[in-house]
Amino acid sequence: MNPDSHAAKTLWIYDTTLRDGAQREGLSLSTDDKLRIARQLDCLGIPFIEGGWPGANPKDVQFFWQLQEEPLTQAEIVAFCSTRRPGKKAAEDPTLQPILAAGTRWVTLFGKSWDLHVIEGLQTTLDENLAMIQDTVEYFRSQDRRVIYDAEHWFDGYKQNRDYALKTLTAAIAGGAEWLVLCDTNGGTLPHEITAIVQDVIHFVELSHSSSALPAPQIGIHTHNDSGTAVANAIAAVMQGARMVQGTVNGYGERCGNANLCTLLPNLQLKLGYQCVHSDQLAHLSASSRLISEVVNLAPDDHAPFVGLSAFAHKGGIHVSAVERNPLTYEHIAPELIGNARRIVISDQAGLSNVLAKARSFGIDLDKQDPTCRQILQHLKTLENQGYQFEAAEASFELLMREALRQRQSFFVIKDFHVHCDMVGGSKAGQSHSLATVKVMVNGQDILEAAEGNGPVAALDAALRKALTNFYPEISTFHLTDYKVRILDGGAGAAAKTRVLVESSNGHQRWTTVGVSSNIIEASYQASVEGLEYGLMLQSQAKAALAPSS
């Protein structure tokens, strides 16, 4: 294989989020979750999607059955399994029948490459392991299935016993496998080792297949991140001629995770010139990353390369000024290529350039000579000195800016609130019961409401929503998606100042607000109230945009 040839510039991306990624601790997927992720990956243009191990659990059986009823539009859905059991013919092994019943054209079969695993794990002979690999591949081929062979623990096996490891590949080739995927299952291999071993394997496959009229199997790579080099290892393999790259969205996976496709795709396509997906599909990468993080119920990594919220965020005033003139000064690619966006972060390090750029992102045009601009900057720095953090709470900063410009709409006014807490069943039981009352003025009318909750913040939030919902029914669609508390001056003990960040969502957008006080309830109240206010402002702007112009 010549990695510099035109044909070699096409890479086949293989996603295993639904199987390998789902092995991450704390991640659990329902059948509906898996279907939703699969369809999103299909829209992203991923050629191969590994759906799971049919027969291993009822969810996977249901998943494959539903995709037979409603197939994906372009992706190949792949069933995953192991080689047959020792001492039993593949055609007689009942564990392989659910794989055929899944109805996929492609099957990914994994087998043992490391003699240690053969002897101690499978507790069989080295020759029997070779027979298991060849027999299972041949069986699936006889059933009109195309086979991807995953060489499990390949790199460890190669380093321990090269000759035997290569014999396992020969067995897979003899059985009719079209792909040989080299797996760094323990994640302990480094890029320079990947380079040398993949180069040797490709040379071995080409040499051993030179007399055959059939095309040689192609090589793939599957890396884990236990040494923090999964992405680098996958790229190293591609540079040597690997043409399939296996990984997961957001790097989900067992232990430290798998190679992150959200990092690999832009690097391979935009920087190395390989064709992975269409450019218009790549532009949906950031949205896909965030959507899948919501489906699996894990907070997105804001600092993830390429797709993270902070990947193209600029905080220092000098940086902002330079990026405003030419984005190349501090951005390695245009964020739009992968569906992300440039963000100007507001903090106590901000200069006028930050304020002006952030105002433009809010649809506000400010003149640098306008005294209000400097007033906003000074007020920002004063508040951050008190413990506020606006780089993580842009919604609060927009409200602050609009207030300075007298553009802040008043939806309601909090006139008073009280919160009462007690412990149910004594302190050892640990069950808190809270009652909150809140007095709100809306359109000149005073509203008094009370609500209970399992904590003071929950009770206060419930009372506030109860008071406002009759006036603003859209509040029922708002929900809290994250709540962070930080003690700012721990040396002050119980009197320490507290910063609370509240992230809210209306199902389509997310926004974060901040509150600071020596009283955690008051800080939570500030952030929660601004969260509701900002959500109402977004709804008001959306309605205004849809209203017919006069």
Judge if 374 and 467 occupy the same domain.
no
Judge if 22 and 115 occupy the same domain.
yes
| Number of domains forming the structure of the chain | 3
Judge if 394 and 268 occupy the same domain.
no
**Cβ partners under 8 Å of residue 522, min gap 6:** 515
For 146-172, b/e burial (b = at least 16 CB within 10 A) is bbbbbbbbbbbbbeebeebbbbbbbbb
- Please report whether residue 308 resides in a domain: no
Phi, psi of 53 (to 5 degrees): -110, 95
Token pair, residue 416, equals 């008073």
| Alpha carbons 312 and 323: distance in angstroms, whole number | 10
- Please report whether residue 224 resides in a domain: yes
- Please report whether residue 526 resides in a domain: no
- Please report whether residue 363 resides in a domain: yes
Domain boundary among 366, 383, 404: 404
| Alpha carbons 498 and 484: distance in angstroms, whole number | 10
| Nearest C-alpha neighbor of 464 from the set 436, 499, 435 | 436
Domain boundary among 432, 449, 471: 471
- The range of the structural domain enclosing residue 324 comes to 313-404
Token pair, residue 452, equals 């209970």
Q: What is the 3-state secondary structure (H, E, C) of 175-189?
A: HCCCEEEEEECCCCC
**What is the per-residue pLDDT for 386?**
83
**What is the per-residue pLDDT for 496?**
76
| Nearest C-alpha neighbor of 110 from the set 61, 56, 45, 67 | 56
Domain boundary among 404, 427, 448: 404
- Please report whether residue 512 resides in a domain: no
Residue count of the chain, please give it.
550
**What is the per-residue pLDDT for 141?**
98
Q: Is residue 515 within 8 Å of residue 400, measured between CB atoms? A: no
pLDDT digits (tens, 9 = 90+) for 412-440: 999 988 888 876 555 455 566 789 999 99
**What is the per-residue pLDDT for 276?**
97
DSSP string covering 510-533: EEEEEEEESSHHHHHHHHHHHHHH
Beta bridge mates, 413: 441
Judge if 190 and 169 occupy the same domain.
yes
Judge if 177 and 220 occupy the same domain.
yes
| Alpha carbons 448 and 464: distance in angstroms, whole number | 9
Judge if 422 and 392 occupy the same domain.
no
**What is the per-residue pLDDT for 485?**
85
**What is the per-residue pLDDT for 235?**
98
- 216-to-4, 107, 210, 518 alpha-carbon distances in Å: 18, 18, 8, 69
| Alpha carbons 345 and 163: distance in angstroms, whole number | 56
DSSP string covering 376-412: HHHHHHHHHHTT---TT-HHHHHHHHHHHTT------
Judge if 223 and 329 occupy the same domain.
no
| Nearest C-alpha neighbor of 400 from the set 442, 368, 358 | 358
CATH number of the domain that residue 426 is part of: 3.30.160
Judge if 105 and 228 occupy the same domain.
yes
Question: Does pTM surpass 0.85?
Answer: no
- List average pLDDT for each run of 10 residues in the chain, which is 550 residues long: 53 98 93 93 98 90 95 97 96 96 97 97 96 98 98 98 98 97 98 98 92 87 98 98 98 98 98 96 92 82 92 74 74 92 67 74 79 81 78 83 88 90 59 86 93 87 91 90 77 72 86 90 91 93 75
**What is the per-residue pLDDT for 4?**
42
Judge if 202 and 240 occupy the same domain.
yes
Q: Is residue 225 within 8 Å of residue 234, measured between CB atoms? A: no
- Alpha helix segments (H runs only) across 45-105: 58-69, 97-101
Judge if 348 and 231 occupy the same domain.
no
- 445-to-237, 414, 439, 465, 471 alpha-carbon distances in Å: 68, 12, 10, 16, 11
- Please report whether residue 543 resides in a domain: no
- Alpha helix segments (H runs only) across 241-327: 261-266, 279-282, 285-295, 317-325
- Please report whether residue 293 resides in a domain: no
**AA identity, residue 474:** E
Judge if 421 and 390 occupy the same domain.
no
**What is the per-residue pLDDT for 329?**
78
Sheet with 431-442, edge to edge strand ranges: 413-424, 431-442, 445-453
Task: For the beta carbon of residue 418, count every other beta carbon within 10 angstroms.
Answer: 12
Phi, psi of 385 (to 5 degrees): -65, -25
**What is the per-residue pLDDT for 374?**
80
**What is the per-residue pLDDT for 103?**
96
For 349-377, b/e burial (b = at least 16 CB within 10 A) is bbebbbbbbbbeeeeeebeeeeeebeebb
- Please report whether residue 499 resides in a domain: no
Judge if 269 and 343 occupy the same domain.
no
CATH number of the domain that residue 155 is part of: 3.20.20.70
